[in-house]
Amino acid sequence: MISIYEKKEVDKFIRRREQRRGSVSQEVRMAVSEILSAVQEKGDEALIEYTFRFDGVDLLKQGLSVANEEIRGAVRSLPDAFLNSMNQAIHHIRAYHEKGRRKSWIDCQEGGIILGQKVTPLKRVGIYVPGGRAAYPSSLVMGAVPAQVAGVSELAVVSPPGPDGRISHSVLAVASLLGITEIYRLGGAQAMGALAFGTESVRCVDKIVGPGNVYVAEAKRQVFGVVDIDMIAGPSEVVVLADETARPDFIAADLLAQAEHDPLASSILITPSSSLARRVQRALQKQGKDLLRKDIFQTSLSAWGGILVVESLKQGIELVNALAPEHVGLHVNDPWAILGDVRNAGAIFLGHFSPETVGDYWAGPNHILPTQRTARFSSPLDTEDFLKYSSIIQYGKKALKRDAEAIIALAEMEGLDGHANAVRQRTKR
């Protein structure tokens, strides 16, 4: 199911894993470009055509947007236990993101100088909620809550319909809990085109967030610049760093939880203990027998998973930083002692009783995270991603006169005498 790579084989595994990143095929790029162009030119007509072709749903009969009665029916169809749990999760996630909300500021200085920063929320955001193998209402929460905390006033949700033409009841119910009523039966690249360019029925947005398949990711890449996007998300990944104090059954459970997402998901254990490596391998086989998504996690673990035995915990940390994974689990005796050394990770789970699952659903931090080594330079989706910043500059006459000579010198050094003139006109006798 999953292979153990001893010290001399670790580099070989890392090189092979790099192939997982790959590049988007020319076929996908061209198909997405064609879809986006059609949506831009033909609007709703293209959305109807592509939804029928790819999803087998006739939007002329089913309707492009989801009616309020359908949303209310979805809420009624679900058990109270689910709705109550989701409400609690929303509360935790909202409380976490409220702590990161930035505010405008002003700084008054001598000579009539006023400097500052005006913080303004985006007006309109589109959220993509994947369908396909499973429904992901938690992804809707993670996209919507930080936007709402930031002050975004309009949220439009797109999600691919099932064969019956309906969007998952759980997604519709969660939208209701969040107060979102603008929902469209749209998936794939055509949904990205509708949000980016607008159609007769779908107004364009300022930013698109949310994970999706390779066509959705490529469409986000191509519309970036027309609108903002959160990130280009790849397959999920977890790296567990463990010492001899770790529980092999806990590690196996975390690796399986990640591997069941996608055949391309990557689950890796890094440890200096050969004994722990073998015990985790046995625990994976034992626990895997009782899980439902066997075809998915078996493919994932055999193709992209690995147990890497290293010389020391220090070398393990170096490997974590090189991999820059989406999730890192620190299954060590004192995780706080090494936390500062972990530079590249989307989310870090400390200790033996912090499974990735609590981050996916409950704790509060966002589960829309950088993947495929982009944690080297990017961060989880957060409230700041829905804010924009305008600089504020006011100069008084006295301050401008004091600084004029230096400013003019800089402008003239760059050959911009018009810039210099704009200062000189205000300060000449």
Domains and CATH numbers, the chain: 4-21+234-376 (3.40.50.1980), 43-229 (3.40.50.1980), 395-427 (no CATH)
Res. 90: pLDDT tops 90: yes
- For the segment 240-248, the average pLDDT, to the nearest whole number, is 97
- For the segment 168-173, the average pLDDT, to the nearest whole number, is 96
pLDDT for 15? 85
The whole-angstrom separation of Cα 187 and Cα 135 is: 13
- For the segment 266-286, the average pLDDT, to the nearest whole number, is 96
Q: What does residue 197 show for φ and ψ, rounded to 5 degrees? A: -100, -25
Element (H, E) at 239: strand 237-242
pLDDT for 16? 84
pLDDT per residue as tens digits for the range 180-223: 999 999 999 999 999 999 999 999 999 999 999 999 999 999 99
Q: Which two tokens stand for residue 322?
A: 């090189």
Closest CA to 90 of 366, 413, 422: 366
Share of the chain above pLDDT 90, in %: 89
Instruction: Give the residue carrying structure tokens 């006739």.
Output: 58
Closest CA to 381 of 260, 233, 255, 240: 233
Asked if residues 280 and 269 have their Cβ atoms less than 8 Å apart, the reply is: yes
pLDDT per residue as tens digits for the range 128-166: 999 855 688 999 999 999 999 999 999 999 999 998 999
Res. 102: pLDDT tops 60: yes
Active-site pick, 261, 327, 331, 352: 327
Q: What does residue 15 show for φ and ψ, rounded to 5 degrees? A: -65, -40
Confidence grade of residue 21 (pLDDT, cut at 50, 70, 90) = confident
The whole-angstrom separation of Cα 296 and Cα 288 is: 11
pLDDT per residue as tens digits for the range 41-53: 999 999 999 999 9
| Active-site residue flag, 326 | yes
pLDDT for 134? 66
pLDDT for 18? 81
Residue-averaged pLDDT of the chain:
95
pLDDT for 295? 92
The amino acid sitting at 105 is: W
Tell me how far CA of residue 39 lies from CA of 129, 143, 340, in angstroms. Answer: 20, 24, 47
Q: Which two tokens stand for residue 217?
A: 């990711």
Element (H, E) at 131: none
- For the segment 71-92, the average pLDDT, to the nearest whole number, is 97
Res. 326: pLDDT tops 90: yes
pLDDT for 233? 85
Closest CA to 319 of 284, 370, 272: 272
Q: Which two tokens stand for residue 168?
A: 């998952």
Based on DSSP, count helices (H) and strands (E) in the chain, helices before strands. Answer: 18, 14
- For the segment 328-343, the average pLDDT, to the nearest whole number, is 98
- For the segment 95-109, the average pLDDT, to the nearest whole number, is 94
The whole-angstrom separation of Cα 307 and Cα 335 is: 20
Tell me how far CA of residue 298 lies from CA of 10, 237, 270, 306, in angstroms. Answer: 21, 15, 19, 12
| Active-site residue flag, 318 | no
pLDDT for 353? 96
The whole-angstrom separation of Cα 415 and Cα 195 is: 43
β-bridge pairing 4-5 and 306-309: parallel
pTM of the model: 0.92
Asked if residues 47 and 186 have their Cβ atoms less than 8 Å apart, the reply is: yes
pLDDT for 107? 97
Active-site pick, 326, 331, 352, 356: 326
Sign of CA dihedral 77, 82, 85, 86: negative
Q: Which strands, in side-by-side order, build the sheet including 113-121?
A: 105-109, 113-121, 387-394
Share of the chain above pLDDT 70, in %: 99
